[in-house]
Amino acid sequence: MTDPIRGKTWWIVGASEGLGAALAQALDARGATLILSARSQHKLDTLAQTLSAATVVQMDVTDIHSVANAAKQTQHADAMLYCVGTYEPTNAKDWDSEIVEQMIDTNFTGAARVLAHVVPNLVARGSGNIMLIGSLSGYRGLPDAIGYSASKAALMHLAENLFIDLKGSGVTVQIANPGFIKTRLTAKNDFNMPQIMTPKVAAHHVIRAIDSQRFETAFPRPFAWVFKWGRYVPRSLFNRLF
């Protein structure tokens, strides 16, 4: 099996902090050349200085022109990892259109904007890797997750579409669905978060998923089983857990 990481150029979208930064460090340690993208030029520059082979391409996934400009500079990449995410606990009874739409635009529509450039390029080349970072929250609707949960469910569905359509093209499509990761985003939660992971531990799971080349990976177990297999239990029973 060909190593999907060593010697390859990976474009990490959402690399400035949290899981994205941890993945940059993990991929760098495995011998990948990196292109780092996010909105914060300063954070990307600081991260790049700690890596052996990384360049910075600033990009805002909610801006179509910014995405198009970044895509021109990253056409040579062998793989793309979409790790952008924004989150704000939001209950439907307290609907805030700006917050909800921002989560959808960043977590899902932004991915579609980037993929609009990446997919045709990799298909034309006949090889490449696409790894999307979803969430366990995408498996079932959850309380106080208007916007976030739906955007991650949409991203997971998009990954399934890509996987079917790109079969036989030489392009490997994958999605990793993590549970709670200790970041500035989960710091907003005021409830218990079972099996919460550091970004470094979560990055380890994603790297293992990339190596496996399997389509879907959910972690950490056994917490992930509650969500993945919870799709097949009666909704009333699943909802009681939350």
Question: In 3-state terms, what secondary structure has residue 71?
Answer: helix
* CA–CA distance, 187 with 72 (Å, rounded to integer): 36
Residue 48 tokens read as 């790049």
For the chain, what is the radius of gyration of the CA atoms?
17
Cα 17 from chain centre:
13
Residue 15's closest CA among 114, 81, 63, 99?
Answer: 81
Q: Which of 82, 87, 148, 232 is catalytic?
A: 148
* CA–CA distance, 176 with 156 (Å, rounded to integer): 9
Residue 30 tokens read as 């495995």
Residue 176 tokens read as 């990793």
* CA–CA distance, 21 with 43 (Å, rounded to integer): 10
Cα 160 from chain centre:
14
What's the angle, vertex CA 51, arms to CA 49 and CA 54, rounded to 5?
85
Neighbours of 2 (CB within 10 A): 9
Instruction: Mark whether 148 is an active-site residue.
Output: yes
The residues assigned a catalytic role are 148
